[in-house]
Structure 1
Amino acid sequence: MKRYPQGPIVIAAGGTGGHLFPGQALAQELRRRGRRIALITDERVQRFDRLFPDADIYPVPAATPSGKGAIGLVRAAPAILAGIARSFGILGRIKPAALIGFGGYPTLPPVAAAILRGVPVCVHEQNAVLGRVNRLVAPYVDAIASTFEAPKFLKARDAGKVVLTGNPVRDAVMAVADRGYQAPADEGHIHLLVFGGSQGARVMSDVVPGALAQLPDVLRRRLSVVQQARAEDIERVRAVYAAAGIAAELSAFFDDMPERLAAAHLVIGRSGASTISELAIVGRPSILVPLPHSLDNDQKANAEKLARSGAAWAIEQKNFTETALAALLTTLLADPAQLAAAARAAKAHGQPHAVRDLADLVERLGRGEFQPDGTPLRATDATGGSGVLKFAIGGA
């Protein structure tokens, strides 16, 4: 294998903010170190290229198999194979030092192409559950950077590759990480932040306003709500808050979300990996509603990690009703000490050096210095690439 230690670092990321934000954080750190960055992503790149302003961006075809059967794999295979072919050519031209994939099917083509080219490869797992693409490529990559010590579905054969780095968060989040938590003062405002991930969540618009309207008058008068909602839901949500006399600021997107997070006394949201990491870095208590029916229940596993430590309260969506939420909020908002304890517990989960540690790992890979568990840098199993290709055409 010919190495190019001074070549660019390739970040393979796409899809949702949960995969893109850690990639953005890593790119920011690597740029501070003077590294060139290339981003290989799927064809939705136009929505996110502002997150990587200094990167060379290469969109490639990708597809997510629909359903669990072979038919979904067969339908996705042409796009995946086209993406592998295009990524193979890109990597040959730019001669990267290393490639890191952040999970999700948009990363499968560039990761598979890097394995076939002999480029040092790392994948990053943000969740408490090893994602399907990361699970697939784990036997063939050099390192698995992880947020959690032992993600579910990690096989014993791959455990020696795991490096506990944590989940990097963006510079804007780190900028507010040192703002200590101040519990709501008696008779003072109570700041609630409500959101449902990078695309918003209708369930938050359906449940939260009605629940807040059921709170006792003494609590309702103190509320100051910031809520992300889908554009088509904003007017009906605003009407509920207005009728209840609750001060609320609504938007489909807040470009200063880290500032809003730091100002919150309590957060109500989903439990994607980026949300969990940002709550921990800033140290804020939360009510978490995992996305139901997500692959492998990764959001449920994330929420349970925080809930077990007292940092959050997890509610499955089937139990997330106006009545249940109103009852929980009535208890929590009347007990500032409990909120403060949850904030401390959340802060204890924070991994403030995650981006540094991940950048160190990727650079070590590029220089040929990383040895997983004392074994050679790259596996000698010549079937690695063909195994990935076998999956890509639906044979795994």
Structure 2
Amino acid sequence: MTDFTNPELSAVETPLAGQVIAVTSGGTGGHMFPAVALSKSLVRRGAKVLFFTDARAARYTEGVEGVETVILPAGGIAGKGIKGRLIGAVRLGLGTLKALKRIKKTRPAAVIGFGGYASIPATMSAKWLGIPYAIHEQNAVLGRANRLVASNAQRIATSFAKVTMIAPSDEAKVIWTGNPVRAEVAALAATEYDAPTSDGPIRLLITGGSQGARILSEVLPTALVNLPEAIRKRLIVTQQAREEDIDTVRKTYDGSQIDVTLASFINDIPERLRDCHLVIARSGASTVAELTAAGRPGFLVPLPHAIDDHQRYNAQQIEDAGGAWLMPQERFSSEAVTDRLAKLLTNPAALTRAAKAAKNSGRANAAERLADMVLDMLGLNPAGSPDNKNMTQDRGDSQ
């Protein structure tokens, strides 16, 4: 596994001037956030980016300077019935024809795929046309779309030090770049974790993805209300919940002495993440990337029905590194959570150790590391690595 040890830009800041790089991604935020982050980094280095995705994703690339978006017909196949699979296959076929035509005309220097079924048309087109391509995997399990194209990829970039479902024959192509996060979260890497004092406030951030996780709304309020009063009256809780659940959640907290803010969408996550002492959440790729970038401890409840159980693998890696505590949903009862939190929230030393471990298990400057990977693919010297000799071999050691 190659690790670019110096991802900062060199004195030559536009090594890709005049080059067209194609980036392609499925339309969900977990795929799109890192894809857009790389696109911006490539533009800063002089490239023009041709971005292939589906109709859901137009809002992510709208207004991004230097990026032209090509909307493809695309549809998922996994987890669908026969009719859904047929429709998905037809849409993928149409998307592939459109991508092939555009890539053949434009001849980008490279194609970088970020998974999701909408990424298949462009990466397959690159394969057929002999254009070098790489893929980036956000989870600790190589996704199904990425598995379809991994064998011919020149590079396989990963968000985690260890990723399952990668064929042994492809291991030499793996580069641990990390998973790009928004700039406001990346900036938290420079902040120190401020553990709760013996009598000061304890700030919890509870999120469940873009729509909120119902199980968190059902279990956590009761679990927190059942904590000893000495802990309960110190709690400052920010909790994301589905709009239809908020009234029920609020009633559970009523009279508990807990200072709670409820919202269906939290628009100041970076600030909440900066100030919190513990994050309680699902373990999707974006959540885990933000925890490790900021260096904040997590209490993670993987979504049990995630494809290939990837959320459990994500959480397990962070727990193994010492940066979080994993509790499977089948054990996520109010009684079990009350018992676990009563111990954690009165142990600032354990929280501090976990915060440090979380930060050590991530990769800083992931977007720049990915851009360096593109330069390396094209035979250009990665920024800060004048002769490639500064690239070390890394099989999963933390930074």
For residue 363 of structure 2, what is the aligned residue in structure 1?
A: 351
Distance 1:303 1:33 in 2: 34
For the pair 1:224 / 2:236, whether they are aligned, the reply is: yes
CA distance in 1, matches of 2:133, 2:172: 15
| Alignment partner of 2:36 out of 10, 21, 24 | 24
- Mapping of residues 140-219 of structure 1, within 5 Å: 140-219=152-231
> For residues 286-305 of structure 1, what are the structure 2 equivalents within 5 Å?
286-305=298-317
SS in structure 1 of the partner of residue 181 of structure 2: coil
The structural deviation recorded for 1:330 is 0.6
Look up the SS of the partner of 1:48 in the other structure.
helix
- 2: distance between equivalents of 1:342 and 1:31? 36
| 1:304-349 Cα deviation digits (max 9, x unpaired) | 1111222111011111111111111111111111111111111111
Q: Does 1:266 align with 2:278?
A: yes
Q: Deviations over 1:353-388 (max 9, x none)?
A: 322211011133345789xxxxxxxxxxxxxxxxxx
Asked if residue 105 in structure 1 is aligned to residue 120 in structure 2, the reply is no
- Bigger CA drift: 16-25 or 129-138? 16-25
Gaps of 5+ in 2: 1-15, 383-399
1:141 Cα shift? 1.7
Question: Contact 2:321–2:361 (CA<8 Å) still a contact in 1?
Answer: no
Amino acid at match of 2:311: Q
Q: Secondary structure at the match of 2:76?
A: coil
Q: Distance in 2 between matches of 1:90 and 1:207?
A: 50
RMSD: 2.2
Distance 1:23 1:321, change over 3 A: same
State whether residues 43 and 59 of structure 1, in contact with CA within 8 Å, keep that contact through their aligned partners in structure 2: yes
When residues 94 and 251 of structure 1 are mapped into structure 2, their CA distance, relative to the original with a 3 A threshold, is farther
Task: Tell me how far 1:50 sits from its aligned partner.
Answer: 4.9
Q: 1:242 to 1:49 in 2, by over 3 A?
A: farther
Q: Does 2:324 correspond to 1:309?
A: no
Letter in 1 for 2:357: A
Measure the CA separation in 1 of the matches of 2:112 and 2:297: 32
| CA gap 1:358/1:113 in 2 versus in 1, 3 angstroms | same
User: Residues 367, 86 of structure 1: CA spacing in aligned structure 2 closer, same or farther, 3 A cutoff?
Assistant: farther
What CA distance in whole angstroms lies between the structure 1 residues aligned with 2:63 and 2:332?
33
What is the alpha-carbon distance in structure 1 between the residues aligned to residue 127 and residue 242 of structure 2? 40
Task: Give 2:132's match in structure 1, choosing from 120, 123, 127.
Answer: 120
Q: Which ranges in structure 1 are unaligned for 5 or more consecutive residues?
A: 371-396
88, 96, 99: which is aligned to 1:84? 96
Name the counterpart of 2:49: 37
**1:284 partner amino acid:** R
Residue 129 (structure 1) aligns with: 141
Distance, in Å, in 1 between the alignment partners of 2:246 and 2:98 is 41
Q: SS where residue 362 of structure 1 aligns?
A: helix
Contact 1:24 1:170 in 2 (8 A): no
Q: How many angstroms apart in 2 are the aligned matches of 1:164 and 1:315?
A: 26
**CA 1:331–1:50: 2 relative to 1, 3 Å:** farther
1:149 CA displacement: 4.0
Question: In the alignment, which residue of structure 1 is the partner of 2:350?
Answer: 338
Offset at residue 238 of structure 1 (A): 2.3
Q: Rate the CA distance shift 1:203–1:16 in 2: closer, same or farther, 3 A.
A: farther
> In structure 1, what is the Cα distance between the partners aligned to 2:43 and 2:186?
16
CA distance in 1: counterparts of 2:272 and 2:22, whole angstroms: 32
> Any conservation in 1 of the 2:116–2:145 contact (CA below 8 Å)?
yes
TM-score normalised by L of structure 2: 0.86
Alignment partner of 1:139 is 2:151: yes
Aligned position for 2:13: none
Give yes or no for contact 1:15–1:42 (8 Å, CA) kept in 2. Answer: yes
- The alpha-carbon deviation at position 236 of structure 1 amounts to 2.1
